[in-house]
Amino acid sequence: MTERISSLLRRVSSVQDPAQDAQGAVDDAVAAQDRELRERLGGRGDLAALEREIASEIAYSLGKTARKLEAALAQLGATLDELTAFPLGAMARGELRVRFDEERLLAERRLRDLIIQREAIGFRRHTELYQLYVIPRWPRDE
């Protein structure tokens, strides 16, 4: 788990004063939130269940966003296949170019959404995403 989530779980599970953590005093609003969450959890030992639920929600959300990106890339690939399947007239090629541009923008937006979600949970490097999810460009006219 990322450091942010781990820090939250450490603060919630600690039996020490909730106004302190490893880096010193936490502001009053955060301390109040920690106290409230600790009270809601009670002494039932639900921290492990909370950790599993948080991890499950993160994984589900990332997977859903990745599936949307994969669908957008598949549609973009289908448009490229259509382009190369048979010779096109200027009008058909222009319509295909407009559709391709719209689908490419959607794929770029989906990739950006995935990157934002990854950054929100602490991942800062996305090189593997750019290698895994290649967004094609319009082929050069020959």
What percent of the chain stands above pLDDT 90?
A: 46
Tell me, yes or no, whether 11 and 36 share the same domain: yes
- Taking residues 131-136, report their average pLDDT: 95
What pLDDT is stored for residue 127 in this prediction?
94
Tell me, yes or no, whether 37 and 63 share the same domain: no
* pLDDT exceeds cutoff 60 at 18: no
Please check whether residue 63 lies inside any domain of the structure: yes
Q: How confident is the model at residue 50 (pLDDT cuts 50, 70, 90)?
A: confident
* pLDDT exceeds cutoff 70 at 62: yes
Residue 50: partners with Cβ closer than 8 Å, 6 or more residues away: 9, 12, 41
Give the residue among 38, 19, 39, 21 at the shortest CA–CA distance from 29.
19
Give the residue among 20, 10, 9 at the shortest CA–CA distance from 58.
9
Tell me, yes or no, whether 72 and 118 share the same domain: yes
Give the residue among 6, 107, 100 at the shortest CA–CA distance from 47.
6
- Taking residues 3-29, report their average pLDDT: 57
14 close to 30: Cβ distance less than 8 angstroms: no
Work out how many domains the chain is built from and give that number: 2
- Taking residues 84-113, report their average pLDDT: 92
What percent of the chain stands above pLDDT 70?
A: 73
* pLDDT exceeds cutoff 70 at 78: yes
* pLDDT exceeds cutoff 50 at 63: yes
Tell me, yes or no, whether 14 and 63 share the same domain: no
* Domain span at 127: 58-132
Query: 20 by DSSP, 3-state: which?
Result: strand
